[in-house]
Amino acid sequence: MDLLEPFSSRVDLREGLVGTVAHRLSRRLSDLRGLFLDEQARAEMVALGDPLVYEVFVAPAPESEGHLCHGVTVLHPGRVGDEYFMTKGHYHQKSGTAEVYYGLAGTGLMILQTRWGVWRTVDIAPGTVVYVPPHWGHRSINTGEVPLVLLYAFPGDAGHDYGTIESTGFARLVVADNGHPSVVENPRYAVEIPP
């Protein structure tokens, strides 16, 4: 039996996760080609300084069965055209695995979607716990003016499928309408065909 030493990390609302952190993953706008509807606006923003959109601070829990991968996502405020900054979004590779998110700072939405086009949005703010049940793809969206900071935990053997969302998108976009978040149809959404 492999006996892992207990460990702890600390959440810092500016710095993300500090202390025992395995790695830090940064996504700039240049890493998010094709994610936003207004590709021209995205390319212009990349040329003008390529802002940091989000960072994921990962605690060193093994990515294997029995463990709980966890960490903190810091999603910065901003927009590409009318569309708020957001994460890429994914399904878990092992589809029957869930996830829990906990809002620490900022305000936003999570959009969740099944492979056959059922979608839901859930508001997230400090103190909100979001349960992402098995089989739901998920993406976080910052609709506020300050970083949206989220703690997450999911089964170590879940894995990530980014390709499906890259090809289908989510059924809805979250855009600013007179300064307020509005959930609108995604004209590029392509529903998957059930097997």
Mask: binding to ligand F6R, 128-167, rule CB under 6 A, as x and -? ----------x-x-----------x-x-------------
Kind plus residue range of the DSSP H or E element containing 42:
helix 39-47
Q: Which residues contact 191 (CB under 8 A, 6 or more apart)?
A: 116, 117, 168, 171
Tokens of 88: 């890429």
17, 29, 37, 56: which one binds ligand F6R (CB under 6 A): 56
User: Degrees (nearest 5) of the Cα angle 180, 78, 69?
Assistant: 105
At 119, which amino acid appears?
Answer: W
Tokens of 40: 């021209």
Distance in angstroms (rounded) separating the CA atoms of residues 34 and 56: 20
Instruction: Indicate whether 89 belongs to the interface with ligand F6R (CB under 6 A).
Output: yes
Pairing verdict, β 52-58 and 68-75: antiparallel
Distance in angstroms (rounded) separating the CA atoms of residues 191 and 141: 21
Tokens of 152: 């997450």
Instruction: Indicate whether 84 belongs to the interface with ligand F6R (CB under 6 A).
Output: no
Nearer to Zn ion, 62 or 81 (CB): 62
Nearer to ligand F6R, 166 or 192 (CB): 166
CB under 6 A: which stretch of 14-22, 42-50, 87-95, 174-182 binds ligand F6R? 87-95
Tokens of 147: 């970083």
42 binds, among Zn ion, ligand F6R, none (CB under 5 to 8 A by kind): none
Name the residue among 92, 93, 59 with its Cα closest to residue 73. Answer: 59
Nearer to ligand F6R, 117 or 159 (CB): 159
Distance in angstroms (rounded) separating the CA atoms of residues 26 and 23: 10
Instruction: Indicate whether 53 belongs to the interface with ligand F6R (CB under 6 A).
Output: no
Instruction: Indicate whether 86 belongs to the interface with ligand F6R (CB under 6 A).
Output: no
Nearer to ligand F6R, 3 or 93 (CB): 93
Instruction: Indicate whether 112 belongs to the interface with Zn ion (CB under 5 A).
Output: no
CB under 5 A: which stretch of 9-17, 61-69, 99-107, 140-148 binds Zn ion? 99-107
Which positions touch ligand F6R (CB under 6 A)?
A: 56, 73, 87-90, 99, 138, 140, 152, 154
Which positions touch Zn ion (CB under 5 A)?
A: 99
